[in-house]
Amino acid sequence: MKAVIFDMDGVIVDSEPIYNKVHADMLREFGITEFLDCPEDYTGMTSIAVFTKTRELYQLKQTIAEIAAYQRDIIIREIKKLEDEPIAGIRELLASLKKHKIKTAIASSSERLFINTVVDKFGLHNYFDVIVSGDDIENSKPAPDIFLKAAHLLCVEPANCLVIEDSKSGTIAAKAAAMKCVGFANPNSGKQDLSQADKIISSIHEINILEYIKTLNFK
């Protein structure tokens, strides 16, 4: 193992409840009273993919740009208001990776503005060598694009990367990128099918990097 690639939402910070609330509030503001979707439908997707799917599903008259603008300011404000720390175990894991000189990246479908807001708020910039956002790729998860781009920027072969994900689409993307994957069963991410992951955990504290190097058969 030469690199660990983190999803952000639901892995580094419990932001999924924020996105879900803002999404529901937006639909009500636009006059939608009967919801046809559920939060799990969007976990792991880029913002543009979410907005496009939402607009088509509800036949909204608002443009993608208008939907994005409505959500962007509210989400950033809510992230900045978060009083919680990053998800339990994240700080310790990042410190351990730094100690063992293992490269790190964030590969999140969120907009770069959201990622930077989270990283700034919690003072995590020094822990990540690379950040790849949904703005940087053409195809959203479950396509492997975002993880392959992160590996390329880290100068690490995919087979030597470990991905930490909390979503079905993310675990599928990681395996499609020929990477090892740990699925984090975060209750706030909904009932995600993490069966594609090499290992499933219920707490970030369960991750043991030295053990994984031995047991997950990295090349």
Residue 25 bears catalytic tag = no
Residue 14 bears catalytic tag = no
Token code pair at residue 207 = 């991750």
Residues whose CB is less than 8 angstroms from the CB of residue 173 and which lie 6 or more positions away in sequence, other chains included: 44, 141, 142, 143, 144, 145, 146, 147, 165
For residue 167, how far is the Cα from the chain centroid? 8
Residues whose CB is less than 8 angstroms from the CB of residue 61 and which lie 6 or more positions away in sequence, other chains included: none
Distance, CA of 210 to CA of 213 (rounded, Å): 5
Full 3-state SS string of 131-152: EECHHHCCCCCCCCHHHHHHHH
CA-based angle 91:96:99, to the nearest 5? 125
Token code pair at residue 12 = 């580094």
Which residues are catalytically annotated? 7, 9
